[in-house]
Amino acid sequence: MIRRGLSPLGIALLVTLVWIAPDTARADSAYIATANGSFGILDFGAHTYTAMGTTSAVYSGLAFDASNNLYTVEFASGRFFKVNPANGSGTVVGSGTGVKNWVMAGLTSGALYEVDFSSNVISLNPATGAGTLVGSTGLPVPSGMDAGGLTGNATTLYYTFNDPSLMDTKSILYAINPSACCAPQKIGTDTGIGAIGALAFVNGTLYGFDNVGKNVLTIDATTGVATVLFSFPGLLASDKVNGAVDAAGAALTTKILPQFVFGGGWFSTLYFTNTGSTSVSFPVNFVSDNGTPLVVPSLGGSSTTVNLAPRGTAAVLTVNSGSLSQGYASASLPAGIVGYGLFDFSATGIPDQEAVVPLSGASSTTSTLIWDDTGNFATAVAIVNPSNVATIVSITLRDTTGAIIATSAVSLQPKSKTEAVLRTLPGLAGMAGNRGSADFTVTSGNVAVLGLRFIGFAFSSIPTTDK
CATH number at residue 81: 2.120.10.30
Q: What size, in residues, is the chain?
A: 467
Distance separating alpha carbons of residues 430 and 92, to the nearest angstrom: 67
Residue 11 lies inside a defined structural domain of this protein: yes
pLDDT (0 to 100) of residue 252: 64
Distance separating alpha carbons of residues 253 and 184, to the nearest angstrom: 30
Domain endpoint, select from 188, 223, 246: 246
Total domains in the chain come to 2
Helices (H), 149-294: none
Residue 292 lies inside a defined structural domain of this protein: no
**Which amino acid is present at 347?**
A
Distance separating alpha carbons of residues 68 and 81, to the nearest angstrom: 14
- What is the mean pLDDT of each successive set of 10 residues along the chain, which is 467 residues long? 33 34 51 96 90 95 89 97 92 96 92 96 94 95 90 92 83 92 92 94 91 95 95 94 88 74 91 83 78 87 87 95 85 83 88 86 85 95 76 95 96 77 95 96 84 86 88
Which residues form the domain of 422? 1-23+362-467
* Residue among 149, 153, 145 nearest 216 (CA): 149
In angstroms, the first-to-last Cα distance of the chain is 33
Distance separating alpha carbons of residues 412 and 208, to the nearest angstrom: 43
> DSSP code of 9?
H
In a shared domain, residues 15 and 39: no
Residue 88 lies inside a defined structural domain of this protein: yes
Domain endpoint, select from 228, 246, 264: 246
In a shared domain, residues 154 and 124: yes
In a shared domain, residues 2 and 40: no
> DSSP code of 109?
T
Residue 323 lies inside a defined structural domain of this protein: no
Q: From the DSSP assignment, how many helices (H) and strands (E) are in the chain?
A: 1, 37
User: Is omega for the bond preceding 182 within 30 degrees of 0, making it cis?
Assistant: yes
In a shared domain, residues 8 and 85: no
Per-state percent for the chain, helix, strand, coil, to nearest 5: 5, 50, 45
Residue 436 lies inside a defined structural domain of this protein: yes
In a shared domain, residues 46 and 154: yes
- Residue 395: give its domain's CATH number: 2.60.290.11
Distance separating alpha carbons of residues 393 and 444, to the nearest angstrom: 9
257's CB contacts (< 8 A; 6+ apart) are: 268, 270, 328, 329, 330, 331, 341, 357, 359
In a shared domain, residues 59 and 182: yes
Residue 463 lies inside a defined structural domain of this protein: yes
Distance separating alpha carbons of residues 364 and 440, to the nearest angstrom: 10
* Residue among 294, 277, 301, 434 nearest 371 (CA): 434
Domain endpoint, select from 230, 246, 262: 246
Distance separating alpha carbons of residues 334 and 329, to the nearest angstrom: 16
Residue 256 lies inside a defined structural domain of this protein: no
